[in-house]
Amino acid sequence: MTIAKDLETLQSDIEFEEIEFPPGDLESKEPPLESYLHLQQLLLLLKCLDWLWQDRTDYFAAGNLTIFYSSEQITTNNFRSPDFFVVLDTERKPRKSWVTWEEGGKYPNVIIELLSNSTANTDRTTKKEFYQDIFRTPDYFWFSPETLEFKGFHLVNGKYQDLQPNELGYLWSEQLQLFLGIYESKLRFFTPNGVLVPTPEESAKMAQEQLEAEQQRNERLVAKLRELNIDPETL
């Protein structure tokens, strides 16, 4: 009975060793986000960056998506799933996960973790060290949608150095060439000149407001010309 059992175990081990795991197209293993605030914040970051870079095809931005950085992780479940990350100089296309060995060994250029009661300590310590030493991600930020705690780091000689806020409290991302800062209790992107990067909806609203303002100026001008007995149609 023991010999048969040993043979069965040995056969199982041999079959396991012969398994060829797929090199890519792996399903993400990220659990659901902590709260509604976390979801809204994540969607906001994605929406704004994609809108700003709508004409670019050389980046990949995602949230709540697994990053596989070693084929061994497929069996050990030892992987990382940042809340939000951006990879530059890559093809902009949909992916089920980010598989580094299928992406030329590229790791995220920017990572943002959204703090929660259950993850905050890990985000500030273990993950920070991991992104510094293993991923070597140049820009790392964390933000709490609840307490508005916000901090950022840039990799200098292999170590994260604290980013210093400007006069508006914004932190500069060298990789994105954008500022990150808090606006109406949300983490937002800002241009190098400090202008808020809008969502598509905000952009459409601003365009509509500008159009209405221009129409009002034209109406006032027409009214003034008529007061002066000048027919606007003759101009």
* pLDDT tens readout for residues 48-92: 999 999 999 999 999 999 999 887 655 555 568 899 999 999 999
Q: What is the dihedral of CA 38, 149, 120, 123, to 10 degrees?
A: 90
218 and 112 in a common domain: no
Least confident among 18-27, 141-150, 165-174, 203-212: 18-27
75 and 154 in a common domain: yes
Mean pLDDT of the chain: 85
| 2: in domain | no
| 5: in domain | no
202 and 177 in a common domain: no
B/e letters for 38-61, b = 16+ CB within 10 Å, e = fewer, are bbebbebbbbbbebbbeeeeebbb
Q: Which two tokens stand for residue 165?
A: 């806020």
144 and 48 in a common domain: yes
117 and 202 in a common domain: no
219 and 191 in a common domain: no
| 1: in domain | no
| 4: in domain | no
207 and 126 in a common domain: no
89 and 179 in a common domain: yes
Residue 99 has pLDDT above 50, yes or no: yes
CB atoms closer than 10 angstroms to residue 158? 8
Tens digit of each residue's pLDDT (9 = 90 or more) over 135-182: 999 999 999 999 999 999 999 999 999 999 999 999 999 999 999 999
Residue 129 has pLDDT above 90, yes or no: yes
| 8: in domain | no
Residue 15 has pLDDT above 50, yes or no: no
| 202: in domain | yes
204 and 109 in a common domain: no
Q: What is the pLDDT of residue 192?
A: 98
Domain enclosing residue 226, as ranges: 198-235
Count up the domains in the chain and report the number.
2
182 and 120 in a common domain: yes
* Selection from 149, 141, 151 nearest residue 185 by Cα: 149
Q: What is the pLDDT of residue 95?
A: 95
Backbone conformation region of residue 94, classed left if phi is above 0, alpha if psi is from -120 to 50, else beta = beta
150 and 121 in a common domain: yes
* pLDDT-derived band at 18, boundaries 50, 70, 90: very low
209 and 193 in a common domain: no
Residue 10 has pLDDT above 60, yes or no: no
